[in-house]
Structure 1
Amino acid sequence: MKVAIVGGTGYGAVELIRFLERHPNIKEIKIVSHSQAGKAFEEAYPHMTQIVSQHMSALSIEELANEVEGVFFATPSSVSYKYVPALVDKGVFCIDLSGDFRLADPEQYEQWYGTKTAAKVDLAKAVYGLSELYHQQIKATKLVANPGCYPTATLLALLPALEHKVIKETGIIIDGKTGVSGAGRSMSLAVHFSEMNENTRAYNVCQHKHIPEIERYLSDRTNKEIQINFTPHIIPMTRGLMATIYADLQELITAEEIEQLYRDYYQGHTFVRIRPIGQLPATKEVYGSNYCDIGLQVDRRTNKLIIVSVIDNLVKGAAGQAIQNMNILNGWDEQLGLNDVPIYP
């Protein structure tokens, strides 16, 4: 199969290429970049010399529809919605790594993202690409809305406990921390070395664009109107994401019982790993891999469940999950091309 990546010079795109280059069912990757069309890809990423030898092309719907079977959109927000519907209509599957198709209501999108997105009819065609939970729906679609990095770590951590009524639907607090690669490759004072090194800051408090995405799918899966408190932080490391979640327990239950519930929930899902009680995961332990590691602890004194969920924000939080969704959509082995051991140390 031949695929294309639109937005070919961002971090998400170069991670897609890293995995797709050795994927046994991908014979060719077309790289599309509006800003750097005509330039050699190795000019943007010299470490890809002799691995990816091609010049990036401009975006043309007709060319893509004639040349490739699938397209990954690794673009900023409010770009992909202009092109995806036409490609899907021509039979090309699209996996969108931006947020353009994650929300059902265009007005809600504009409220949180500050820009426009697709029409409601096109949003309704998208399947949310949280691979472990929407497997059957992904198999039957041509349009996958790949989840955000924070929603991936958070939803995988919370849904087993919420769906089994282990925790209360109110008062959920999510403390998120991510490396600077989550901000993308564009220059910004916020990620300037002198500003970021030996420094940690909270950002977009109460207004992060992942809040409605998390709330939508928590609510959809539980048939309850769930709201969360979510505070993200940027920390001085390149990649990795940790969500530490605090929730009130519904009733007396042991940590061991909750651990078993999580193991049963994710049985058969290779990329979600549940830690034994007393062992909490660290971001380094999933570095460069498509794993989500989850640790659990019960605070009997306050009757709270504490969940620690870690992913590599560029892999399970972006490119890796996109390839996992491509595998599902095409009826291939879900793990194909993704069985990398985490890089350590």
Structure 2
Amino acid sequence: MMKVAIIGASSLTGNKLIEILAKHPKADVAFAFSKNYAGQNVSSLYPENESDITYVSFDEDKIAQCDVIFSCLPHGKSMLILPTLTSPEKLIIDLGADFRIPADVFKKWYDEEHKAKKQTPATYGLSEIFAGEIKESKFIANPGCYPTTVLLALAPLLKQNIELKNIGVYSLSGRSGAGRDNAKQYATEGENVFSYKDPYNHQHIGEMEYVGSMIGAGPLKLYYFSPHVVTNIYQGMHTTLTASCELESAQSLLSIYESFYSEQPFVSVKKVSGQKLNLNSVVNKNDCLIGLDYDKVTKRLYIISIIDNLVKGASGQAIQNMNLALGFEQTLGLKED
């Protein structure tokens, strides 16, 4: 049994890790570190989680006892801690933003210097695309939730070097995407939808463009990225992408995606026309549902990408990456038999 430590365990993603790992047959949470809630039981903060785990203060001696370390700290925090914990014997998976992109790209999009005393290269943990690299890695940067929807939606076309122009991205997220405290506040606002951040300078654009360029043979450029929060939905993420490109037909587009994801247990592909692509179908699952359409006259591509932001967009994908890195079946603890 792998012993697991979670740093920042009182966060929403930390809680979701505890919840999912409780059902994992080969990994057990040994320590749940929390600065503000040490001594309290997980269920006192999250009543829906029946775990008997008690939060403890961060302790490197406890870290030394563990095989796997998940970090759920806010951006800017993991970079101060994780480089000192890297070891050939330990698997580290960071759910924050600090190691997803190089230091110079981080500075551009987050408008701050990367503070890691040593630049430890991390493997980008988009499980379906970089599984080979993940299997060889001991330090994995888990993707952001919005980038997960966008990159899984575009990867089959990027891999075929199909030129995409004027890529527009419009995303809706449940309130949990804003973090624990904001989610509580937004819950009091009733039914509401609001946009936030500059659609041309959102920090996730840097991650999407950088990794998208890694997947394809050339640079990826987004026309805009416009995220929104839906206050009366707790979890779930619905992203719509449009772009101009040259394709034979909607059916040829579908064939590209079905072939690309045919052996991926967590990705399903459907035609948008005549289908209801339901957000609830992926909630509390590590799944990505992709819907496709293409208009031959206007040469416009239309893609819908739907995930649970706390699962496939965070903790579930982190466990999928753990499974890959440790040589387990990637579905272990994530799909019921």
TM category (shorter chain) comes to over 0.9
CA contact (8 A) 2:160 2:216 kept: no
Residue 286 of structure 2 aligns with an amino acid whose one-letter code is N
Within 5 Å, which residues of 2 pair with 1:68-79? 68-79=66-77
Given candidates 89, 92, 103, the residue that maps to 2:90 is 92
Taking structure 1 as reference, are residues 277 and 28 closer, same or farther at Cα in structure 2, changes over 3 Å only?
closer
Given the two structures, how large is their TM-score scaled by the length of structure 2? 0.93
In the alignment, structure 1 residue 285 sits paired with structure 2 residue 281: yes
CA contact (8 A) 2:3 2:29 kept: yes
CA contact (8 A) 1:171 1:248 kept: yes
| In 2: Cα distance, 1:120 partner to 1:161 partner | 38
| In 2: Cα distance, 1:135 partner to 1:90 partner | 19
Aligned-pair CA distance for 1:64 = 0.4
Within 5 Å, which residues of 2 pair with 1:181-330? 181-187=176-182, 191=186, 193-194=188-189, 197-205=190-198, 206-228=200-222, 229-236=224-231, 237-251=233-247, 253-276=248-271, 278=273, 279=275, 281-330=277-326
Identity %: 34
Within 5 Å, which residues of 2 pair with 1:99-178? 99-104=97-102, 106-119=103-116, 122-123=119-120, 125-166=121-162, 168-178=163-173
| In 2: Cα distance, 1:282 partner to 1:208 partner | 27
Residues 285-340 of structure 1, C-alpha deviation per residue, up to 9 Å, x if partnerless? 11110010001011234210100010000000001000000000000001000015
Aligned-pair CA distance for 1:280 = 5.1
Aligned-pair CA distance for 1:20 = 0.3
Q: Which runs of 4+ in 1 moved over 6 A?
A: none
Taking structure 1 as reference, are residues 11 and 189 closer, same or farther at Cα in structure 2, changes over 3 Å only?
closer
| In 1: Cα distance, 2:128 partner to 2:184 partner | 37
CA contact (8 A) 2:175 2:187 kept: no
Residue equivalent to 1:13: 14
CA contact (8 A) 2:282 2:306 kept: yes
Residue equivalent to 2:5: 4
Q: Secondary structure of the residue that 1:210 maps to in structure 2?
A: helix
Taking structure 1 as reference, are residues 240 and 188 closer, same or farther at Cα in structure 2, changes over 3 Å only?
closer
Q: Secondary structure of the residue that 1:13 maps to in structure 2?
A: helix
Residues 181-229 of structure 1, C-alpha deviation per residue, up to 9 Å, x if partnerless? 00010247972622xx222111112222211000001111223122102
Taking structure 1 as reference, are residues 299 and 189 closer, same or farther at Cα in structure 2, changes over 3 Å only?
same
Residue 33 of structure 1 aligns with an amino acid whose one-letter code is S
Aligned-pair CA distance for 1:99 = 0.3
Residue 92 of structure 2 aligns with an amino acid whose one-letter code is C
CA contact (8 A) 1:165 1:250 kept: no
Residue 155 of structure 1 aligns with an amino acid whose one-letter code is L
How many aligned positions are there?
332
Given the two structures, how large is their TM-score scaled by the length of structure 1? 0.90
| In 2: Cα distance, 1:268 partner to 1:121 partner | 38
CA contact (8 A) 2:175 2:182 kept: no
Taking structure 1 as reference, are residues 62 and 29 closer, same or farther at Cα in structure 2, changes over 3 Å only?
closer
Between 318-327 and 294-303, report the one with greater CA deviation: 294-303
Taking structure 1 as reference, are residues 277 and 241 closer, same or farther at Cα in structure 2, changes over 3 Å only?
closer
Between 93-102 and 295-304, report the one with greater CA deviation: 295-304
Residue equivalent to 1:339: 335
Aligned-pair CA distance for 1:80 = 1.2
Residues 140-185 of structure 1, C-alpha deviation per residue, up to 9 Å, x if partnerless? 111000000011011000111232244x333111111111000010
Residues 83-132 of structure 1, C-alpha deviation per residue, up to 9 Å, x if partnerless? 2122213632111000010011x243233234443549534x20000000
Residue 54 of structure 1 aligns with an amino acid whose one-letter code is I
Residue 166 of structure 2 aligns with an amino acid whose one-letter code is G
Taking structure 1 as reference, are residues 133 and 53 closer, same or farther at Cα in structure 2, changes over 3 Å only?
same
